[in-house]
Structure formats: structure tokens, C-alpha cells
């Protein structure tokens, strides 16, 4: 139902979105490593921010599990901010998913994106129940301190095949996704 | 003598008269011949004129026939042009009517697309139901955690009971069986609680992703309707 080209394209689109949206400053480092989806020990007892991009052919769920430890909080949480940690993580996840949405719009004109919702991270263990055509997880480390586990899950309703022109991705892709 | 003279005079007069008459006839004949020659020349001239005129007339007639033919052809062409003009006029009228109808239909499409965009509110309403469902799920999570806590406590109590039964020796044997049974029930309850927790997480995931799909699908439809509305408006603007 999903071609290798499409899998590679989604992987590339996520990596680019994470590198541009999960860092706060342009000079910050962002390391992304593929990990098994059932690797629950990476960030234990955490909550996960879930977002969905829907199209006629598929739906893509992006799940970002932010480490609630001090390093991650210190990186994302600005002093004096009126927002809660959960709101800040949701906003970051929303920006990352928005960047993926903007890129996917180049290949699929009919797309819509949900607002973020926070679930218990145990839910990730049940992603197979959704019968995904593509499931991939990543360990994202920003500035060698902030840790995020990202999971991309794609369920298809028809054969999915496309090749993303990743070299043409803009550095600042997409507008701010407000919610 | 006189008679001869008179006769001679008479004869002379007669001869003179005859001569005059002959001269007159001769002159008349000359005049007549000249007139005849002139007339003949004139007749010839007139004949040539007549022939030239006849030729011109024939040519004029020929040209007239040609002009009549051309005129007839022109009239036929004109009639055809007039018929085509009428036809084009009808076509133009029909096209104008079609244009008005298309403009009206484009406006209808734009209006309908604008109206259908309000479907977004329906999708958002469905999405809001997710919050309600998830709140109920959260409540079940809390109750299940409480149940799990009770079960863990029962396990500890049953373990303590088993220890106490063992201390009691033979007298506590029956109590040990009950304690073991309670521990077994607690273990089954714990398994059930874990299974229930997994079911709740699975339910959370399915509910969230389904309702997010509805919400995102609603936005997708709204965006598509906006495109349809914009295209219909552009089409309508071009028709006016």
C-alpha cells in the first residue's frame, strides 16, 4: 500500500521538519536517530503530543514524546513564560507537524491538519492496532540535552507513492500553525 | 423672213430652253449624284456606326448579362450572408443566454461552496465530543488505578495472611488455603486491571486519532471548498 519511495520521502520530510522546528535557535544542533517504536525506555512515564494530517489517500499521525526532565524543560521553557510545559510542548509539536504539512501539500493538494492533543505515552504501544502502512520512531536530541522521541505513523486508504524533492525544501518552510 | 426669224427664234428658244433644261438636268443629276455619293458615304458611315453601335450594344448586352449574373450571384451570396448573419445572431443570442446561465450557475456554485464551508463547524463539534469521551476515559483510568492500588494492597494483605497462617501451623492450614485463594484472586484482578488499562490506552489512541482525522478531514474539505468558491468567483468574474 505504500512504496519505498513514499516511506523514504516521509522519513526525509520528518527529519527536515524536526531539524527546522524542534530547535529554538538556528545554530542549535539536532541529532536524529532511528529507534524501534516499542523502545519505551527512552523517555519513561512521559506524555505524548499527538497530531494528525489527513488527506484523501492517507492519514499521518505525528507523536512527539518530550522528556519531562530538567534538560528538556530548560531548553524549551523560557523563563517568565505564562504557558504551561504541556502548552509549550504542544506548540513545538504543532510547529513540527505544520512544517510536514506544508511540505506534503506540494504533493497532495487536499490536506488538513488537526490541533494537538496530549495522551499517555503508553498509547504508542497500541499503534499497530491502527494497521499502519508505515511506522517509524526517532530519538531526537537537541543541543545534546533536550530529548524527544518522535513517532510517525501513516495509515493508507489507497496505494501511496510519491517522491519528495528534499533538496528543494525551504529552510523556513511553512507558516506558523496556530491552534 | 420674219417667220423664219420667229421660227428660228422659237427654235432657238426651244433649243436654249432644252439646253437649259438639259443643263439643269445635268446639274441636277450631278447634284443628285453628289448627294447620292454623300448619302452613300453617310450610309456607309452610319452603317459602320450602326455596326459599331451594334457591337457596343452586343458587348453592353453581354456585360449587362454578366452583370445580371454577377448581381444574381451577389444577391444569392447576400442572401446566404444574411442567413448566416441571422444564424450567427441566433448563436450569439444563445451564447449570451448560456453566458448568463453559466454566470448564474458559477454564482450558485460559489454560494453553495461558501455555505458548505460552515460544515467546518460540524466537524469541530464532532471533535469537541472527543474531549468529552477522553474525559470519561480519563475518569476510567483514575478508577482503574484505584482498583489496581486496591488489588496490590489485597496482594500484600494475602501475603501477610499466608505468613500468619504459616506461623499458626496446623491450626492455620485452612486459613492458609483461604489466603492463597485470595492472593490468586488478587493476581487475576491485577492482570485484569492491567488488561483494562491497556484497553483504555488503546481506546484513547483510537478515539484521539479518529477524531483528529475527522477534524483534519473537515479542514481539508473546508480548504477544498474555498478553492471551489474562489474558482467559481473567478469564472463568474470572467463571464461579466
Residues B38 and B128 in one domain: no
CB contact (8 A) between residue B212 and residue A51: yes
Residues B143 and B217 in one domain: yes
Tell me what ipTM this predicted complex has.
Answer: 0.88
Q: Where do we find the cell 521538519? A: A17
The CATH number of the domain holding residue B135 is: 1.10.287.950
CB contact (8 A) between residue B220 and residue A125: no
Best B142, B193, B212 member to test A by mutation, with max A CBs in 10 Å, is B212
Condensed to tens digits (0 to 9), the pLDDT of residues B6-25 reads 888 888 888 888 888 888 88
The minimum CA-CA distance between B141 and chain A, rounded to whole Å, is 11
Distance of CA B54 to the CA centre of its chain: 65
Residues B68 and B160 in one domain: no
The residue of chain A with its CA nearest to that of B123 is A114
Domains defined for chain A, CATH in brackets: 4-159 (3.40.1550.10)
**How many CA atoms lie less than 13 Å away from A154 in the CB half-sphere?**
24
Full domain range(s) for residue B175: 117-239
On chain A, the residues whose CB falls within 8 A of the CB of B215 are: 52, 112, 114-115
The residue of chain B with its CA nearest to that of A109 is B224
Could you give the 3-state DSSP secondary structure of residue A18? helix
Residue ending a domain, choose from B54, B88, B109: B109
Condensed to tens digits (0 to 9), the pLDDT of residues B158-215 reads 889 889 888 888 888 888 888 889 889 988 999 999 999 999 999 999 999 999 999 9
Best B193, B196, B209 member to test A by mutation, with max A CBs in 10 Å, is B209
Q: What is the DSSP letter of A23?
A: -
Q: How many domains does chain B have?
A: 2
Whole-structure pTM value? 0.73
Residue B49, CA distances (Å) to A7, B34, B59, B62 in order = 106, 21, 15, 19
Residues B65 and B163 in one domain: no
Residue ending a domain, choose from B109, B126, B149: B109
- What are φ and ψ of residue A152, in 5° steps? -115, 125
- What are φ and ψ of residue A120, in 5° steps? -70, 140
Short-list A122, A152, A120, A121, CA closest to A135: A152
Condensed to tens digits (0 to 9), the pLDDT of residues A103-128 reads 999 999 899 999 999 999 999 999 99
Per-residue model confidence (pLDDT) at position A179:
42
The residue of chain A with its CA nearest to that of B212 is A114
Amino acid at each position: 500500500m505504500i512504496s519505498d519511495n513514499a516511506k523514504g520521502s516521509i522519513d526525509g520530510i520528518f527529519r527536515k521538519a524536526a531539524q527546522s522546528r524542534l530547535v529554538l535557535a538556528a545554530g542549535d544542533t539536532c541529532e536524529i536517530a532511528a529507534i524501534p517504536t516499542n523502545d519505551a525506555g527512552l523517555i519513561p512515564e512521559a506524555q505524548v503530543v499527538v497530531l494528525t494530517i489527513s488527506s484523501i489517500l492517507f492519514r499521518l499521525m505525528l507523536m512527539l514524546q518530550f522528556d519531562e526532565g530538567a534538560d528538556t524543560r530548560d531548553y524549551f521553557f523560557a523563563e517568565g513564560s505564562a504557558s504551561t510545559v504541556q502548552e509549550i510542548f504542544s506548540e513545538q509539536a504543532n510547529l513540527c507537524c505544520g512544517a510536514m504539512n506544508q511540505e506534503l501539500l506540494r504533493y497532495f493538494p487536499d490536506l488538513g491538519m488537526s490541533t494537538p492533543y496530549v495522551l499517555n505515552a503508553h498509547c504508542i504501544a497500541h499503534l499497530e492496532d491502527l494497521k499502519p502502512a508505515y511506522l517509524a520512531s526517532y530519538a531526537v536530541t537537541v543541543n545534546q540535552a533536550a530529548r524527544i522521541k518522535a513517532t510517525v505513523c501513516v495509515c493508507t486508504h489507497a496505494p501511496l507513492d510519491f517522491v519528495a524533492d528534499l533538496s528543494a525544501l525551504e529552510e523556513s518552510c511553512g507558516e506558523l500553525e496556530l491552534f | 423672213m420674219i417667220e423664219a426669224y420667229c421660227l428660228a427664234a422659237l427654235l432657238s428658244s426651244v433649243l436654249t430652253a432644252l439646253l437649259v433644261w438639259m443643263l439643269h438636268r445635268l446639274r441636277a443629276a450631278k447634284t443628285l449624284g453628289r448627294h447620292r455619293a454623300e448619302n452613300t458615304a453617310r450610309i456607309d458611315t452610319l452603317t459602320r456606326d450602326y455596326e459599331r453601335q451594334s457591337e457596343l450594344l452586343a458587348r453592353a448586352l453581354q456585360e449587362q448579362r454578366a452583370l445580371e449574373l454577377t448581381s444574381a450571384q451577389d444577391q444569392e451570396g447576400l442572401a446566404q450572408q444574411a442567413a448566416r448573419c441571422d444564424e450567427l445572431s441566433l448563436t450569439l443570442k444563445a451564447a449570451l443566454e448560456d453566458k448568463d446561465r453559466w454566470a448564474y450557475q458559477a454564482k450558485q456554485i460559489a454560494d453553495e461552496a461558501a455555505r458548505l464551508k460552515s460544515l467546518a463547524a460540524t466537524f469541530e463539534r464532532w471533535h469537541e465530543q472527543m474531549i468529552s469521551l477522553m474525559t470519561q476515559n480519563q475518569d476510567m483510568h483514575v478508577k482503574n488505578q484505584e482498583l489496581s492500588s486496591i488489588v496490590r494492597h489485597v496482594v500484600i494483605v494475602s501475603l501477610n495472611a499466608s505468613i500468619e497462617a504459616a506461623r499458626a501451623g496446623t491450626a492455620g492450614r485452612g486459613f492458609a488455603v483461604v489466603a492463597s485463594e485470595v492472593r490468586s484472586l488478587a493476581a487475576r484482578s491485577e492482570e485484569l486491571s492491567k488488561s483494562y488499562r491497556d484497553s483504555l490506552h488503546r481506546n484513547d489512541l483510537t478515539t484521539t486519532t479518529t477524531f483528529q482525522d475527522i477534524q483534519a478531514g473537515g479542514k481539508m474539505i473546508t480548504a477544498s471548498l474555498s478553492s471551489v468558491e474562489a474558482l467559481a468567483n473567478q469564472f463568474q468574474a470572467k463571464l461579466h
